[in-house]
């Protein structure tokens, strides 16, 4: 039996939110600034509705202004772009989040490109991607990988230098920015994906393993280097024997926790950190726009 640390993402996120709330209060008290986050939701995708509801609730709980823009699924691309341009110009709005996915007739790339990079709190704009890739501290970092990094740094006491990191998945929203963040922390980074030969062997070399695949419990005990830190980004709904469903990650949690040094559960690991990091990014964006020193 191993005594792997189960990283409590819920508690971690609560601490981040408390820190953000204090920063927001300071901005109000000392700078007369109330950070504002605009969330744009197109259509009625049930998962997106839940995400947006949680984002709005937590934004308000932290003392920030939340502006919500719900639009019908038949909104034209041009109308949505015009909405984004308006938010770019709105001084009450420091962060803009357009909930993905968008309906098929709207280009997500075009909409993301329309967001002012300094208000792009999701960190998906190519300017921010480029800043992250070049190691600039000015990048807005995508929320999910940022949350993963915070938990990893906490586990390792702040320094990841020289760790061998393997990221499973190469999406623009998780895998690629995660790899860039770990490289910026001086890890030796390998990214593996569906075309990689012998993924298992690559994973077994990892001190840090981040799984962002979307395949239920794909990563098994035999893939893990003893003592490794395992961050499970995956969210997969599977059917149980009794016909009910449950959420599982990309990592076979019960068996992997027997060998690894630390692991995030699903649910209750990476998920809660994503919104907490969105709130933190909104404070960062507000400080930059008002030329106020960013809170550490």
Catalytic residue numbers read 55, 99, 122
Nearer to ligand NDP, 276 or 283 (CB): 276
For β-strands 36-42 and 5-6, DSSP reports them as unpaired
Nearer to ligand NDP, 33 or 125 (CB): 125
Give backbone dihedrals phi and psi of 14, rounded to 5 degrees, phi first. -60, -40
Interaction residues for ligand NDP, span 95-154 (CB under 6 A): 144
* Shortest reach from residue 23's CB to ligand NDP, in Å: 22
Nearer to ligand NDP, 126 or 292 (CB): 126
The two three-digit tokens of residue 46, written as one number: 């049930």
What track of x and - describes contact with ligand NDP for positions 145 through 184 (by CB under 6 A)?
-----------------------xxxx-xxx---------
Regarding 199 and contact with ligand NDP (CB under 6 A), the answer is: yes
List the Cα angle 93/76/105 in 5-degree steps.
110
> For residue 232, what is the enclosing H or E element?
strand 229-232
- Using alpha carbons, select from 197, 146, 171 the residue that is nearest to residue 13: 146
Residue from the set 248, 270, 279, 287 that interacts with ligand NDP by CB under 6 A? 270
Nearer to ligand NDP, 189 or 199 (CB): 199
Size of residue set near ligand NDP by CB under 6 A: 23
Q: Which residues are annotated as a binding site?
A: 169-171, 235
How far apart CA 159 and CA 103 sit, in angstroms, is: 42
Collapsing DSSP to helix, strand or coil, 120 comes out as strand
Could you tell me the CA-to-CA distances from 272 to 30, 79, 122, 187, 276 in Å, in that order?
Answer: 29, 32, 15, 25, 7
What residues make contact with ligand NDP under the rule CB under 6 A?
144, 168-171, 173-175, 193-195, 199, 212-215, 233-236, 270-271, 274
């Amino acid at each position: 039996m191993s005594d792997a640390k189960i990283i409590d993402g819920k508690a971690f996120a609560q601490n981040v939110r408390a820190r953000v709330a204090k920063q927001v209060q300071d901005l109000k008290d000392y700078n007369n600034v109330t950070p504002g986050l605009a969330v744009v939701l197109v259509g009625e995708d049930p998962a997106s509705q839940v995400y947006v509801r949680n984002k709005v609730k937590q934004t308000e709980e932290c003392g920030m202004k939340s502006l919500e823009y719900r639009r019908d699924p038949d909104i034209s691309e041009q109308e949505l772009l015009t909405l984004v341009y308006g938010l770019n110009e709105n001084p009450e709005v420091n962060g803009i989040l357009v909930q993905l996915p968008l309906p098929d007739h709207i280009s997500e790339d075009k909409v993301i490109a329309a967001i002012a990079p300094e208000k792009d709190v999701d960190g998906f704009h190519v300017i921010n991607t480029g800043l992250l890739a070049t190691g600039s501290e000015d990048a807005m970092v995508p929320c999910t990988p940022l949350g993963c990094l915070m938990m990893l740094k906490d586990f390792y006491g702040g320094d990841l230098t020289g760790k061998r990191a393997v990221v499973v998945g190469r999406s623009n929203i998780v895998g690629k920015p995660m790899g860039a963040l770990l490289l910026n922390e001086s890890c030796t980074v390998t990214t593996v994906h569906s075309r990689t030969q012998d993924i298992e062997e690559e994973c077994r070399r990892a001190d840090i393993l981040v799984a962002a695949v979307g395949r239920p419990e794909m990563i098994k005990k035999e893939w893990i280097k003893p003592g490794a830190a395992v961050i499970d980004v995956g969210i997969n709904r599977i059917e149980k024997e009794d016909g009910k469903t449950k959420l599982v990650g990309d990592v076979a949690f019960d068996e992997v926790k027997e060998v690894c040094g630390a692991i995030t559960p699903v649910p209750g690991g990476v998920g809660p950190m994503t919104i907490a990091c969105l709130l933190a990014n909104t404070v960062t964006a507000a400080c930059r726009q008002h030329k106020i020193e960013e809170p550490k």
